[in-house]
Amino acid sequence: MGPVRPSSRRWRGNRPLLVELQALIVPSGLALPRRSAQGLDSGRLSLLLAVLERRAGLSLAAVDVYASAVGGVRIAEPGADLAVCLALASAAVDRPLPADLVACGEVGLAGEIRQVAQTPRRLAEAARLGFRHALVPSSGEAHQRSLSVTPVRTLMEAVSAIGLSGPAPGTAGGRRPAPARRGFPRQGERHLAPAADARGVSSPGPRPS
């Protein structure tokens, strides 16, 4: 994704940047399961895992978790929290995320989804790059004609909105895709679980020269 030049000085050198976030969850044989983060703050990852387990009903205490921001991007703001949680939830329940879904929002300890700065501009960039569905915090203004925007108040609501709540499918011959909900399309075989990916519109700032 190429850089986008902001027109407002309030960004102070930052720019909307679409970031693909991936997660992999595997059973752990260790007393203290691994928590590996690349491009993400490891402490923030541990916090989001705790919120997912407590507020979204996902059992993650006995698994190794690997999360990564694709392309060597370093995410230093909370706007990617929701996308990270969706990738983790997708890997945990072995169900794919829609390929044209983008998400942005900060996740609080109570499981609430908080508004982040410049959400309309983030969504405009996602729409320009071809995404068609977005999950955003219900607080604040986030209108975008080219996107089907779903406002969510809590992490549980976000997980349920895209069919990631409930137990993982127990099929004998393979995996089945998640049922389509609230306008999100069914996704065939494009996703290879238990790895998962989600996209978030973040503002990592200028890269060092």
Query: Please, which pLDDT band fits residue 166 given cuts at 50, 70 and 90?
Result: low
Instruction: Give the mean pLDDT of 4-8.
Output: 29
Question: What DSSP string runs through 113-151?
Answer: EEP-TTHHHHHHHHHHTT--EEEEESSS----TTSEEEE
Distance from the Cα of residue 47 to its chain's centroid = 15
Query: Structure tokens of 119?
Result: 């959400």
Query: Please, which pLDDT band fits residue 201 given cuts at 50, 70 and 90?
Result: low
Q: Which domains are present in the chain?
A: 16-164+191-202 (3.30.230.10)
Residues 15-35: pLDDT tens digits? Answer: 788 999 999 999 999 999 999
pTM: 0.76
Residues 52-90: pLDDT tens digits? Answer: 999 999 999 999 999 999 999 999 889 999 999 999 999
Instruction: Give the mean pLDDT of 119-124.
Output: 90
In angstroms, the CA 91 to CA 97 distance is 9
pLDDT of residue 144: 74
**Is residue 180 predicted with pLDDT exceeding 80?**
no
